[in-house]
Amino acid sequence: MDIVGLREVDLGSLTGDELSAHIRGLDRRRNQHDAALLESVAAWDARQQWAADGSLSAATWLASRCEMSRSSAAVLVRTSRRLRDMPLTADRARRGDLGSAKVVLLANAAGRSDATREAFARDEELLVGHAQKLTVDQLHQLLREWLLRVDAETGNDDADRQHERRRLHLSETFGGMWALDGMFEPTDGAELAAALQAEYDALQRAENAVEGGPRRTPAQRRADALMNLIRGERVTRPSLTIVVRAEDLRDARGGARIAGVSVIDPATVQQMACDAVIRRVVIGPEGEILDLGRSQRLISPAQRRALTVRDGGCVFPGCDRPPERCDGHHIVHWTQGGRTDMDNLCFLCLGHHTAIHKRGFRVARGPDRRLRFSRPDGIEITARQRLSTVMRC
* Same domain? 91 vs 39: yes
Is residue 193 in a domain? yes
Q: So what's the pLDDT on residue 390?
A: 45
Q: So what's the pLDDT on residue 333?
A: 78
Is residue 53 in a domain? yes
Overall number of domains in the chain: 3
Q: So what's the pLDDT on residue 255?
A: 57
Is residue 96 in a domain? yes
First to last CA, the chain: 37
* Same domain? 120 vs 194: no
Pairing of strands 371-374, 326-330: unpaired
Is residue 377 in a domain? yes
Q: So what's the pLDDT on residue 233?
A: 57
Show which of 175, 209, 230 is a domain's final residue.
230
Is residue 254 in a domain? no
Is residue 140 in a domain? no
Point out the residues of the chain with pLDDT beneath 70.
Answer: 1-7, 156-161, 210, 213, 232-298, 334-335, 383-393
* Same domain? 102 vs 221: no
CA 217 to chain centroid: 24
* Same domain? 64 vs 117: yes
Q: So what's the pLDDT on residue 274?
A: 41
Is residue 186 in a domain? yes
* Same domain? 121 vs 223: no
Mapped to the 3 state alphabet, what secondary structure does the chain carry? CCHHHHHCCCHHHCCHHHHHHHHHHHHHHHHHHHHHHHHHHHHHHHCCHHHHHCCCCHHHHHHHHCCCCHHHHHHHHHHHHHHHHCHHHHHHHHCCCCCHHHHHHHHHHHCCCHHHHHHHHHHHHHHHHHHCCCCHHHHHHHHHHHHHHHHHHHCCCHHHHHHHHCEEEEEECCCCCEEEEEECCHHHHHHHHHHHHHHHHHHHHHHHHCCCCCCCCHHHHHHHHHHHHHCCCCCCCCCCCEECCHHHHHHCCCCEEECCCEEECHHHHHHHHCCCCCCCCCCCCCCCCCCCHHHCCCCCHHHHHHHHHHHCCCCCCCCCCCHHHEEEEECCCHHHCCCCCHHHEEEEEHHHHHHHHHCCCEEEECCCCCEEEECCCCCECCCCCCHHHHHHC
* Same domain? 85 vs 206: no
Is residue 147 in a domain? no
Show which of 113, 132, 151 is a domain's final residue.
132
Show which of 80, 110, 132 is a domain's final residue.
132
* Same domain? 7 vs 124: yes
Instruction: Yes or no: say if 364 and 328 are a contact pair by the CB < 8 Å rule.
Output: no
Structure confidence by residue, pLDDT tens digits, 360-373: 899 998 888 889 99
Q: So what's the pLDDT on residue 349?
A: 86
Measure the CA angle with vertex 61, ends 55 and 64; round to 5°: 115
* Same domain? 92 vs 171: no
Closest by CA to 158, choosing from 192, 109, 123, is 109
Buried b (16+ CB within 10 A) or exposed e, 240-259: bbbbbeeebbeeeeebbbbb
Q: Which residue range forms the structural domain that includes residue 94?
A: 3-132
Structure confidence by residue, pLDDT tens digits, 220-270: 999 988 888 887 655 344 555 666 665 555 555 555 666 555 566 655 654
Distance separating alpha carbons of residues 21 and 71, to the nearest angstrom: 32
